[in-house]
Chains A and B, each alone.
Chain A
Amino acid sequence: MVYENPDGVRIGLEVHVQLNKLNTKLFCGCSTKYHDSEPNTHVCPVCLGLPGSLPVINEKAVEYAIKIGLALNCSIVEQTQFHRKNYYYPDLPKGFQTTQYDFPIAGEGKIIIEGEDGEHVVGITRAHMEEDPGRLQHMGSIDKSKGTLINYNRSGMTLIEIVSEPDMRSPKEARRYLDKLRSILDYLDVFDGDLEGAMRVDANVSVHWGDRVEVKNISSFKGAERALLYEIMRQKNHIRRGGEITMETRHFDEARGVTISMRTKEEEHDYRYFPEPDLVPLRVADRVPKVRETLPELPDAKRERFMEQYGLGETHARALTTEIKVANFFEEVAEKVDPKDAAVWVSDILKGELNYRELSIDAFTVEDIVAVVELVTGNKVTEQSGVEIIRTVLDDGGKPQDIVEKKGLLKVEDDIVATAVEEAIAENPEAVADYLGGKEKSLNFIVGKVMQKTKGRADAREAREKVLAKLKE
Chain B
Amino acid sequence: MITKEEVEHVGWLARIEIDAKESDAYAEKLNSVLGYFGQLDEVDTEGVEPTYHVADIVNVFRKDEVTGSMPQEEVLANTEHKQEGNFKAPKIM
Report whether B13 and A22 are in contact in the complex, using a CB–CB cutoff of 8 Å. Answer: no
Report whether B59 and A31 are in contact in the complex, using a CB–CB cutoff of 8 Å. Answer: no
Instruction: Pull 20 A–B residue pairs with CB atoms less than 8 Å apart, ordered by A.
Output: A23-B66, A24-B62, A24-B65, A29-B65, A30-B68, A31-B68, A38-B72, A39-B84, A40-B85, A44-B67, A44-B68, A57-B61, A58-B61, A60-B63, A149-B84, A149-B89, A150-B88, A272-B13, A280-B57, A281-B53
Report whether B64 and A22 are in contact in the complex, using a CB–CB cutoff of 8 Å. Answer: yes
- B24 smallest CB distance to A (angstroms): 21
| Contact partner, A24, options B52, B58, B66, Cβ 8 Å | B66
Q: How far is the CA of A288 from the CA of B85 in the complex (A)?
A: 42
Residues in chain B near residue A39, CB distance under 8 A: 72, 84-86
Report whether B59 and A280 are in contact in the complex, using a CB–CB cutoff of 8 Å. Answer: yes
- B60 smallest CB distance to A (angstroms): 5
Question: Do most interface residues of chain B lie in helix, strand or loop, or is the interface mixed?
Answer: loop
Residues in chain B near residue A41, CB distance under 8 A: 69, 71-72, 75, 85
Report whether B15 and A40 are in contact in the complex, using a CB–CB cutoff of 8 Å. Answer: no
| Contact partner, A90, options B9, B65, B87, Cβ 8 Å | B87
Residues in chain B near residue A90, CB distance under 8 A: 87, 89, 92
Residues of B at under 8 Å CB distance from A? 9, 12-15, 52-55, 57-72, 75-76, 83-93
Report whether A29 and B67 are in contact in the complex, using a CB–CB cutoff of 8 Å. Answer: yes
Q: How far is the CA of A89 from the CA of B75 in the complex (A)?
A: 19
Report whether A59 and B93 are in contact in the complex, using a CB–CB cutoff of 8 Å. Answer: no
Q: How far is the CA of A277 from the CA of B51 in the complex (A)?
A: 11
Residues in chain A near residue B53, CB distance under 8 A: 81, 275, 277, 280-281
Contact with B along A278-298 (1 / 0, CB 8 A): 011111000000000000000
Q: How far is the CA of A30 from the CA of B90 in the complex (A)?
A: 27
CB-nearest residue of chain B to A137: B86
Report whether B64 and A24 are in contact in the complex, using a CB–CB cutoff of 8 Å. Answer: yes
- B75 smallest CB distance to A (angstroms): 5
| Contact partner, B64, options A44, A60, A152, Cβ 8 Å | A60
Report whether B83 and A44 are in contact in the complex, using a CB–CB cutoff of 8 Å. Answer: no
Residues in chain A near residue B62, CB distance under 8 A: 24, 29, 56-59
Report whether A283 and B59 are in contact in the complex, using a CB–CB cutoff of 8 Å. Answer: yes
Q: How far is the CA of A149 from the CA of B59 in the complex (A)?
A: 36
Report whether A281 and B52 are in contact in the complex, using a CB–CB cutoff of 8 Å. Answer: yes
Report whether B12 and A147 are in contact in the complex, using a CB–CB cutoff of 8 Å. Answer: no
| Contact partner, A40, options B60, B63, B87, Cβ 8 Å | B87
Q: How far is the CA of A24 from the CA of B53 in the complex (A)?
A: 26
Known: A56-B62, A58-B64. A31 touches B89 (CB 8 A): no
Q: How far is the CA of A88 from the CA of B89 in the complex (A)?
A: 13
4 extra A-B contacts, CB within 8 A, seeds A31-B68, A280-B59: A41-B75, A145-B91, A145-B92, A147-B91
- B50 smallest CB distance to A (angstroms): 10
Instruction: Say if the beta carbon of A62 comes within 8 Å of chain B.
Output: yes
Residues in chain B near residue A376, CB distance under 8 A: none
Known: A40-B85, A149-B86, A267-B9. A142 touches B93 (CB 8 A): yes
